[in-house]
Amino acid sequence: MRSNIILGRGDLEVIEMLNKYLIDKIVGIRNVGDGKLIIDVKPNNLVDVVNVVTDKLGGIFVTIVGNDARSIDNSFHNIYVFSLDSLKTYLLIRVKLDPESPKINSITHIVKGADWGEREVRDLLGINMVNHPDPRRLILPDGWPEGINPLKKEFAHSIRPELNNSECYVPLRSDDVVALPYGPYHPLLHEPEYFELHIKGETVVGVEYRGFHVHRGIEKLGESRLTYNQVPFVAERICGICGFVHNVCYCQAIENAAKIEVPERAHYIRSIILEIERLHSHLLWLGVACHILGFDTGFMHAWRIREPIMNLAEALTGNRKNYGLNLVGGVRRDINKDSSARISKLLKDIKHEYDRFISSLTAVKEVIRRLEGSGLLPKPEAISYGVVGPVARGSALKRDVRVDHPYAAYKDVSFKVPTYSECDNMSRLMVRVDEVYESISIIEQLIDRLPGGSILAENAEVPEYREGFSGIEAPRGEDFHYVLTGRFSKVYRWRVRAPTYNNIPALKVMLHEVPLSDAPLTIASIDPCFSCTDRLLVFDVDKGKKFKVSYKALASGWKP
């Protein structure tokens, strides 16, 4: 089934403002429905357009999508995504670049959050970012051969290039600054990750992050081998905690591209599972935060309360995690009356237990003192980096995709969006504390109003070369998926941006001039999600250099 594109009030206002400020800069405007606009601009006008979108329209940076569209229109595309929250509209700014030598001016000097996105398209598509402030690779390892870009269409997903022996980039530091490795394995980290903290005395004065050690190539896999209804099962494995969010986000992006009308009951079921996932994610994080603070009693209580929620997820979907519930056009399993009654009873019990836990947690003065005033992220910096989720709301930014860009059944429920203005670790903790209560309320409303009807759209067809995208409020913040449909029931381009991608760069601000003892807690406050680490960095202290050693060399008896 197809739904007609209807221009919302916000879309009309955005179009009027674009025509007012940028009439001579825009090549074309296209509405793709549900508060989503795409504008085409010439490369030399990009910086001017971004300035207007951020200054005049209040746009907040979301991500950058690079696309090898040479087989479609003989060009590379760079798509800059902004959220106009007050107008409930996503605005995508597309530039088409030379197929032989693609290049575009950097916008990182306007929005700091564009740094990673620009470096990613440079790595994966070979698009040169003119005047970008950071020359280092982001996704690819330092020894990756020049001129080989994995997201170009001629690059097969099975290719494994041989790495060269190039040295890693080492930032310059003064003699009185010590580089302290934090990770990739550390007792306070719940996943492998690598930070290099620059310490002067007992104070952190800088931080370097190196991630993407195991870049699984999920986007490439989705574009190369999987059909539309196989991708959701891979998308659910992008994150070990909030995988269902990615699953729904992908499905909604395809549904947006194909204009598929999803049954209301399916929207409600998706929303119920999304909020169950938010509950167990926030409780997991609260437990980890207590552990980092040395309050292990709180850790055990948080995880004890979480366990019945995991059991409920299993009862509703068949699995505690990786539910396999979604298909394009709806869901595969229904919720019966017995399950609805069980959910209602469980939520009442959980709320009672949670009240007692939060009362005890906030009564521990040592915990509160560690949280208050640490890890500061002022509101202007939060906007510039485009941070999302509890990190944004803890910095007085009232941003929530469920409200700003309503989807699924969220238009039918009422809830508060907790925000705090202190901009510290305590604020980010309290946002999550409050959101647990809101999620319980949302699920109760959804269960009471659960409509009848089918759970999967019939005869859902996906036309070729249609664009679609979707934002979903994950426990960590906004997930964003972009798709360009292709031939033979496969996506031509699938772009995934998880919330941690926007939140990690802001640690440069949050960790600046803080005591070393606050660093683990501040890093944990963004609830980071990382891929695993599969390579080793060796530091030569005498020469001040670092270099890689492969597992093969280690197994052969390598010695420094």
> What are the tens digits of pLDDT across the range 416-428?
999 999 999 999 9
Whether 470 is covered by a domain: the verdict is yes
**pLDDT (average), residues 531-555:** 39
CATH number where 520 lies: 1.10.645.10
pLDDT band at 535 (very low <50, low <70, confident <90, very high): very low
| Same domain as 230, residue 82 | no
| Same domain as 321, residue 452 | yes
Alpha helices by DSSP H, 418-459 = 425-449
| Same domain as 326, residue 459 | yes
Tell me: pLDDT of 187 over 80.
Answer: no
Whether 230 is covered by a domain: the verdict is yes
Tell me: pLDDT of 453 over 80.
Answer: yes
| Same domain as 15, residue 110 | yes
pLDDT digits (tens, 9 = 90+) for 466-503: 999 999 999 999 999 999 999 999 999 999 999 999 99
Tell me: pLDDT of 9 over 50.
Answer: yes
| Same domain as 485, residue 383 | yes
| Range with the poorest average pLDDT among 77-86, 182-191, 346-355, 497-506 | 182-191
* C-alpha span between 200 and 203 (Å, rounded): 5
Question: What average pLDDT does the chain have?
Answer: 88
The secondary structure of residue 260, as a DSSP letter, is B
Look up residue 129 and give its amino acid. M
Sheet bearing 491-497, strands edge to edge = 467-474, 477-485, 491-497
pLDDT band at 548 (very low <50, low <70, confident <90, very high): very low
Whether 173 is covered by a domain: the verdict is no
Tell me: pLDDT of 531 over 70.
Answer: no
| Range with the poorest average pLDDT among 146-160, 170-184, 356-370 | 170-184
Whether 163 is covered by a domain: the verdict is no
pLDDT at 228: 93
Whether 305 is covered by a domain: the verdict is no
C-alpha dihedral, 134 to 140 to 143 to 149, nearest 10°: -100
pLDDT digits (tens, 9 = 90+) for 192-227: 677 888 898 889 988 888 877 666 678 888 888 899
pLDDT digits (tens, 9 = 90+) for 28-72: 999 887 789 999 999 999 999 999 999 999 999 999 999 999 999
pLDDT band at 173 (very low <50, low <70, confident <90, very high): low
Answer whether 50's CB lies under 8 Å from 80's CB.
yes
**pLDDT (average), residues 301-320:** 93
Residue whose C-alpha is closest to residue 38's, from 220, 4, 49: 49
pTM metric for this prediction = 0.90
| Residue that wins the pLDDT comparison between 535 and 279 | 279
| Same domain as 233, residue 122 | no
Whether 530 is covered by a domain: the verdict is no
b/e map 241-257, b = 16+ CB within 10 Å = bbbbbbbbbbbbbbbbb
C-alpha dihedral, 60 to 395 to 436 to 415, nearest 10°: -60
The residues, any chain, with a CB within 8 Å of residue 345's CB and separated by 6 or more, are none
| Same domain as 515, residue 414 | yes
pLDDT at 560: 44
Last residue of a domain, one of 140, 156, 172: 156
* C-alpha span between 506 and 515 (Å, rounded): 17
pLDDT band at 313 (very low <50, low <70, confident <90, very high): very high
pLDDT at 546: 44
CATH number where 27 lies: 3.30.460.80
| Same domain as 259, residue 152 | no
- Phi-psi domain of 198 (left: phi exceeds 0; alpha: psi -120 through 50; beta: other): beta
Whether 388 is covered by a domain: the verdict is yes
**pLDDT (average), residues 425-447:** 97
pLDDT at 489: 92
* C-alpha span between 305 and 283 (Å, rounded): 8
**pLDDT (average), residues 127-151:** 89
| Same domain as 22, residue 127 | yes
* C-alpha span between 168 and 181 (Å, rounded): 15
Tell me: pLDDT of 144 over 90.
Answer: no
Answer whether 245's CB lies under 8 Å from 239's CB.
yes
**56: which 2 tokens?**
């005049």
pLDDT at 555: 39
pLDDT at 213: 66
**Domain total in the chain:** 2
pLDDT at 3: 37
* C-alpha span between 350 and 352 (Å, rounded): 5
pLDDT digits (tens, 9 = 90+) for 70-97: 999 999 999 999 999 989 999 999 999 9
Domain that holds residue 72: 9-156
**Helix/strand/coil for 327:** strand
Answer whether 302's CB lies under 8 Å from 286's CB.
yes
pLDDT at 240: 80
**Helix/strand/coil for 441:** helix
pLDDT at 460: 86
**pLDDT (average), residues 259-287:** 96
**80: which 2 tokens?**
């800059």
Whether 301 is covered by a domain: the verdict is no
Last residue of a domain, one of 132, 156, 180: 156
| Same domain as 224, residue 144 | no
